[in-house]
Amino acid sequence: MTDGTWTASAGDASVTVDVDRGCRISSLVVDGRELLIGDPARGPLEWGCYPMAPFAGRVRHGRFTFDDETYQLPCNLPPHAIHGYALALPWSPVDGGDTSGVWTVSLRGTPWPFACRVVHRVALAADGSSLALTLEVHADDGPMPASCGWHPWWRRPVTLSFDAERMWRLDAQGIPDGTFVAPPPGPWDDCFTWLHGPPVLVFEGGPVVTIESPCPQLVVFDERDDAVCVEPQTHPPDALNLGPALVLPGAPLVATATFRWRTS
Protein backbone atom coordinates (compact mmCIF):
# COMPACT_ATOMS: atom_id res chain seq x y z
CA MET A 1 0.00 0.00 0.00
CA THR A 2 1.38 3.41 -0.98
CA ASP A 3 0.11 6.97 -0.45
CA GLY A 4 -3.10 5.79 1.19
CA THR A 5 -4.09 3.50 -1.68
CA TRP A 6 -3.97 -0.26 -2.25
CA THR A 7 -3.83 -1.81 -5.72
CA ALA A 8 -4.15 -5.40 -6.91
CA SER A 9 -3.94 -6.88 -10.40
CA ALA A 10 -4.83 -10.29 -11.80
CA GLY A 11 -5.53 -11.45 -15.33
CA ASP A 12 -6.92 -8.52 -17.32
CA ALA A 13 -8.26 -6.68 -14.23
CA SER A 14 -6.95 -4.30 -11.61
CA VAL A 15 -8.56 -2.69 -8.57
CA THR A 16 -7.50 0.27 -6.45
CA VAL A 17 -8.84 1.07 -2.98
CA ASP A 18 -8.49 4.61 -1.64
CA VAL A 19 -8.06 3.76 2.03
CA ASP A 20 -7.89 7.39 3.17
CA ARG A 21 -11.12 8.36 1.41
CA GLY A 22 -13.61 6.00 2.96
CA CYS A 23 -11.94 2.74 1.90
CA ARG A 24 -13.70 3.11 -1.44
CA ILE A 25 -12.83 1.32 -4.64
CA SER A 26 -11.48 4.27 -6.59
CA SER A 27 -10.68 2.33 -9.77
CA LEU A 28 -11.79 -0.92 -11.38
CA VAL A 29 -10.17 -1.62 -14.74
CA VAL A 30 -11.29 -4.62 -16.79
CA ASP A 31 -9.72 -5.47 -20.14
CA GLY A 32 -8.14 -2.01 -20.29
CA ARG A 33 -11.38 -0.12 -19.52
CA GLU A 34 -12.07 1.95 -16.41
CA LEU A 35 -15.56 1.08 -15.16
CA LEU A 36 -15.96 3.52 -12.25
CA ILE A 37 -16.16 7.30 -11.91
CA GLY A 38 -12.89 8.15 -10.16
CA ASP A 39 -12.96 11.89 -9.51
CA PRO A 40 -12.59 12.99 -5.84
CA ALA A 41 -13.40 16.57 -6.86
CA ARG A 42 -17.05 15.50 -7.20
CA GLY A 43 -17.27 15.25 -3.40
CA PRO A 44 -17.37 12.18 -1.15
CA LEU A 45 -20.87 11.05 -2.19
CA GLU A 46 -20.36 10.95 -5.96
CA TRP A 47 -17.41 8.81 -7.04
CA GLY A 48 -15.89 5.37 -6.80
CA CYS A 49 -17.60 2.49 -5.03
CA TYR A 50 -17.81 3.20 -1.33
CA PRO A 51 -19.13 1.24 1.65
CA MET A 52 -22.24 2.75 3.25
CA ALA A 53 -22.26 2.23 7.04
CA PRO A 54 -23.60 2.28 9.68
CA PHE A 55 -26.62 3.15 7.55
CA ALA A 56 -27.30 3.09 3.81
CA GLY A 57 -29.44 5.61 2.01
CA ARG A 58 -31.34 8.52 3.51
CA VAL A 59 -32.51 8.99 7.08
CA ARG A 60 -35.54 11.27 7.17
CA HIS A 61 -34.42 14.66 8.55
CA GLY A 62 -31.50 12.79 10.16
CA ARG A 63 -33.79 11.68 12.98
CA PHE A 64 -34.63 8.24 14.35
CA THR A 65 -35.72 6.57 17.58
CA PHE A 66 -34.04 3.53 19.09
CA ASP A 67 -34.74 1.92 22.46
CA ASP A 68 -37.16 4.76 23.33
CA GLU A 69 -34.56 7.48 22.73
CA THR A 70 -34.63 9.89 19.79
CA TYR A 71 -31.38 10.77 18.02
CA GLN A 72 -30.55 13.63 15.66
CA LEU A 73 -27.84 13.08 13.03
CA PRO A 74 -26.15 15.82 10.98
CA CYS A 75 -27.93 16.23 7.65
CA ASN A 76 -25.09 15.84 5.13
CA LEU A 77 -27.58 15.99 2.23
CA PRO A 78 -30.13 18.51 3.56
CA PRO A 79 -32.82 18.04 4.63
CA HIS A 80 -31.75 14.44 5.29
CA ALA A 81 -28.76 12.43 6.46
CA ILE A 82 -27.39 9.96 3.91
CA HIS A 83 -25.06 6.96 3.46
CA GLY A 84 -23.46 6.87 6.91
CA TYR A 85 -20.12 8.31 7.95
CA ALA A 86 -17.55 5.64 7.08
CA LEU A 87 -17.31 6.91 3.48
CA ALA A 88 -15.57 10.16 4.55
CA LEU A 89 -13.05 8.73 7.04
CA PRO A 90 -9.55 7.25 6.69
CA TRP A 91 -9.45 3.52 7.45
CA SER A 92 -6.69 1.36 8.95
CA PRO A 93 -5.29 -1.85 7.44
CA VAL A 94 -6.00 -5.14 9.20
CA ASP A 95 -4.55 -7.60 6.72
CA GLY A 96 -3.48 -7.59 3.10
CA GLY A 97 -2.04 -9.74 0.38
CA ASP A 98 -1.29 -9.53 -3.31
CA THR A 99 -4.95 -9.71 -4.37
CA SER A 100 -6.94 -9.09 -1.17
CA GLY A 101 -7.07 -6.53 1.62
CA VAL A 102 -8.95 -5.94 4.86
CA TRP A 103 -9.47 -2.54 6.53
CA THR A 104 -11.37 -1.19 9.51
CA VAL A 105 -12.63 2.14 10.84
CA SER A 106 -13.97 3.10 14.26
CA LEU A 107 -17.02 5.34 14.43
CA ARG A 108 -16.60 6.04 18.13
CA GLY A 109 -16.65 9.80 18.62
CA THR A 110 -18.16 10.54 15.18
CA PRO A 111 -21.70 11.86 14.66
CA TRP A 112 -22.96 8.27 14.97
CA PRO A 113 -24.28 8.04 18.56
CA PHE A 114 -23.16 4.45 19.16
CA ALA A 115 -19.67 3.01 19.54
CA CYS A 116 -19.08 0.77 16.55
CA ARG A 117 -16.53 -0.23 13.94
CA VAL A 118 -16.80 -1.27 10.33
CA VAL A 119 -14.67 -3.84 8.48
CA HIS A 120 -14.31 -3.89 4.68
CA ARG A 121 -12.80 -6.83 2.77
CA VAL A 122 -11.89 -6.60 -0.92
CA ALA A 123 -10.63 -9.61 -2.87
CA LEU A 124 -9.76 -9.78 -6.57
CA ALA A 125 -10.05 -13.31 -7.96
CA ALA A 126 -6.75 -14.94 -8.85
CA ASP A 127 -7.81 -15.19 -12.50
CA GLY A 128 -9.02 -11.57 -12.58
CA SER A 129 -12.64 -12.56 -13.29
CA SER A 130 -14.41 -11.06 -10.26
CA LEU A 131 -14.18 -8.83 -7.21
CA ALA A 132 -15.60 -10.10 -3.90
CA LEU A 133 -16.64 -7.61 -1.21
CA THR A 134 -17.59 -8.10 2.43
CA LEU A 135 -18.83 -5.44 4.83
CA GLU A 136 -19.24 -5.93 8.59
CA VAL A 137 -20.81 -3.50 11.06
CA HIS A 138 -19.81 -4.32 14.67
CA ALA A 139 -21.36 -2.91 17.84
CA ASP A 140 -18.66 -2.29 20.45
CA ASP A 141 -20.51 -1.45 23.65
CA GLY A 142 -24.17 -2.42 23.30
CA PRO A 143 -27.07 -2.95 20.91
CA MET A 144 -27.59 -0.51 18.06
CA PRO A 145 -29.53 -0.24 14.78
CA ALA A 146 -27.76 -0.47 11.43
CA SER A 147 -27.95 -1.09 7.72
CA CYS A 148 -25.18 -1.20 5.13
CA GLY A 149 -24.27 -1.69 1.48
CA TRP A 150 -22.16 -0.38 -1.41
CA HIS A 151 -22.59 2.63 -3.65
CA PRO A 152 -20.81 2.14 -7.01
CA TRP A 153 -20.76 4.91 -9.61
CA TRP A 154 -20.53 2.99 -12.91
CA ARG A 155 -19.44 4.96 -15.95
CA ARG A 156 -21.67 5.42 -18.95
CA PRO A 157 -22.21 4.33 -21.66
CA VAL A 158 -23.68 1.25 -20.00
CA THR A 159 -26.99 -0.61 -20.21
CA LEU A 160 -28.58 -1.93 -17.02
CA SER A 161 -31.03 -4.81 -16.80
CA PHE A 162 -32.63 -6.28 -13.68
CA ASP A 163 -35.85 -7.99 -12.62
CA ALA A 164 -37.58 -6.82 -9.46
CA GLU A 165 -41.11 -7.64 -8.41
CA ARG A 166 -41.60 -4.70 -6.06
CA MET A 167 -40.34 -1.16 -5.51
CA TRP A 168 -40.60 0.86 -2.30
CA ARG A 169 -43.07 3.69 -2.81
CA LEU A 170 -41.60 7.14 -2.16
CA ASP A 171 -43.41 10.02 -0.52
CA ALA A 172 -43.11 13.68 -1.49
CA GLN A 173 -39.74 13.91 0.28
CA GLY A 174 -38.25 11.03 -1.71
CA ILE A 175 -38.28 8.67 1.29
CA PRO A 176 -39.90 5.19 1.31
CA ASP A 177 -43.30 5.32 3.02
CA GLY A 178 -43.29 1.65 4.05
CA THR A 179 -45.43 0.34 1.18
CA PHE A 180 -44.67 -1.21 -2.20
CA VAL A 181 -45.65 -0.64 -5.82
CA ALA A 182 -44.96 -2.43 -9.08
CA PRO A 183 -41.79 -0.96 -10.66
CA PRO A 184 -42.59 1.68 -13.29
CA PRO A 185 -40.35 2.44 -16.27
CA GLY A 186 -37.19 4.45 -15.46
CA PRO A 187 -35.37 6.66 -14.95
CA TRP A 188 -35.14 5.81 -11.26
CA ASP A 189 -33.85 6.98 -7.92
CA ASP A 190 -35.56 4.11 -6.14
CA CYS A 191 -35.15 1.00 -4.03
CA PHE A 192 -36.25 -2.35 -5.46
CA THR A 193 -36.87 -5.65 -3.68
CA TRP A 194 -38.13 -9.18 -4.36
CA LEU A 195 -35.34 -9.49 -6.90
CA HIS A 196 -35.30 -12.27 -9.48
CA GLY A 197 -31.66 -12.79 -10.37
CA PRO A 198 -28.74 -10.38 -10.26
CA PRO A 199 -28.60 -7.06 -12.11
CA VAL A 200 -26.43 -6.99 -15.22
CA LEU A 201 -24.44 -4.08 -16.65
CA VAL A 202 -23.42 -4.20 -20.32
CA PHE A 203 -20.71 -1.67 -21.13
CA GLU A 204 -20.72 -0.44 -24.72
CA GLY A 205 -17.79 -2.13 -26.45
CA GLY A 206 -16.62 -3.48 -23.10
CA PRO A 207 -17.29 -6.11 -20.43
CA VAL A 208 -20.56 -7.47 -19.07
CA VAL A 209 -20.70 -7.12 -15.27
CA THR A 210 -23.04 -9.11 -13.03
CA ILE A 211 -23.68 -7.83 -9.50
CA GLU A 212 -24.26 -10.86 -7.30
CA SER A 213 -25.40 -10.30 -3.72
CA PRO A 214 -27.73 -11.87 -1.15
CA CYS A 215 -28.68 -8.35 -0.07
CA PRO A 216 -32.48 -8.15 -0.48
CA GLN A 217 -32.56 -4.47 -1.50
CA LEU A 218 -31.24 -2.82 -4.65
CA VAL A 219 -31.13 0.94 -5.08
CA VAL A 220 -30.86 2.16 -8.68
CA PHE A 221 -30.02 5.74 -9.58
CA ASP A 222 -29.79 6.40 -13.33
CA GLU A 223 -30.88 10.03 -13.62
CA ARG A 224 -27.41 11.29 -14.56
CA ASP A 225 -25.88 11.38 -18.03
CA ASP A 226 -22.41 10.31 -16.87
CA ALA A 227 -23.06 7.45 -14.43
CA VAL A 228 -25.39 4.72 -13.20
CA CYS A 229 -25.50 3.64 -9.54
CA VAL A 230 -26.56 0.06 -8.71
CA GLU A 231 -26.39 -0.39 -4.94
CA PRO A 232 -26.82 -3.70 -3.07
CA GLN A 233 -28.12 -2.92 0.43
CA THR A 234 -29.18 -4.96 3.45
CA HIS A 235 -32.14 -2.64 4.11
CA PRO A 236 -34.03 0.12 2.28
CA PRO A 237 -33.36 3.83 2.70
CA ASP A 238 -34.61 5.22 6.03
CA ALA A 239 -34.20 1.76 7.54
CA LEU A 240 -33.41 3.35 10.91
CA ASN A 241 -37.09 4.32 10.98
CA LEU A 242 -38.65 1.55 8.87
CA GLY A 243 -36.91 -1.35 10.62
CA PRO A 244 -33.11 -1.73 10.80
CA ALA A 245 -30.95 -4.68 11.72
CA LEU A 246 -30.32 -5.04 15.45
CA VAL A 247 -26.55 -5.31 15.88
CA LEU A 248 -25.19 -6.73 19.14
CA PRO A 249 -21.62 -7.04 20.42
CA GLY A 250 -20.26 -10.23 18.87
CA ALA A 251 -23.11 -10.40 16.34
CA PRO A 252 -22.31 -7.98 13.49
CA LEU A 253 -24.39 -7.10 10.48
CA VAL A 254 -22.63 -8.69 7.48
CA ALA A 255 -23.19 -7.98 3.78
CA THR A 256 -21.50 -9.53 0.75
CA ALA A 257 -21.41 -8.74 -2.95
CA THR A 258 -19.44 -9.97 -5.94
CA PHE A 259 -18.87 -8.06 -9.16
CA ARG A 260 -18.31 -10.72 -11.82
CA TRP A 261 -17.42 -9.89 -15.41
CA ARG A 262 -16.89 -11.46 -18.77
CA THR A 263 -15.23 -9.97 -21.83
CA SER A 264 -15.65 -10.73 -25.49
Is it the case that residue 192 has pLDDT exceeding 90?
yes
pLDDT (tens digit, 9 = 90+) per residue, 212-223?
999 999 999 999
In percent, the amount of the chain with pLDDT more than 70 equals 99
> How far, in Å, CA of 149 to CA of 122, rounded?
14
- Please name each of the domains of the chain with its CATH number: 5-262 (2.70.98.10)
- Per DSSP, the three-state class of 10 is strand
Q: What is the pLDDT of residue 72?
A: 97
- At 18, the amino acid letter reads D
Query: What is the mean predicted confidence (pLDDT) over 156-165?
Result: 98
Nearest-5° angle of CA 191, CA 53, CA 29? 80
Is it the case that residue 2 has pLDDT exceeding 80?
no
Round the average pLDDT of the chain to a whole number and report it. Answer: 96
Query: What is the mean predicted confidence (pLDDT) over 128-134?
Result: 98
In percent, the amount of the chain with pLDDT more than 90 equals 95
7 burial type by CB count under 10 A (0-12 exposed, 13-18 middle, 19+ buried): middle
CA 172 from centre of chain:
24
Q: Given pLDDT bands bounded at 50, 70 and 90, which one contains residue 109?
A: confident
242 burial type by CB count under 10 A (0-12 exposed, 13-18 middle, 19+ buried): middle
pLDDT (tens digit, 9 = 90+) per residue, 167-191?
999 999 999 999 999 999 999 999 9
CA 36 from centre of chain:
13
Q: Where do the DSSP E strands lie in 62-188?
A: 63-66, 69-72, 81-82, 92-96, 100-106, 116-124, 130-139, 144-146, 149-155, 158-161, 164-170, 176-181
> How far, in Å, CA of 20 to CA of 5, rounded?
7
Q: Given pLDDT bands bounded at 50, 70 and 90, which one contains residue 76?
A: very high
The pTM assigned to this predicted structure is 0.96
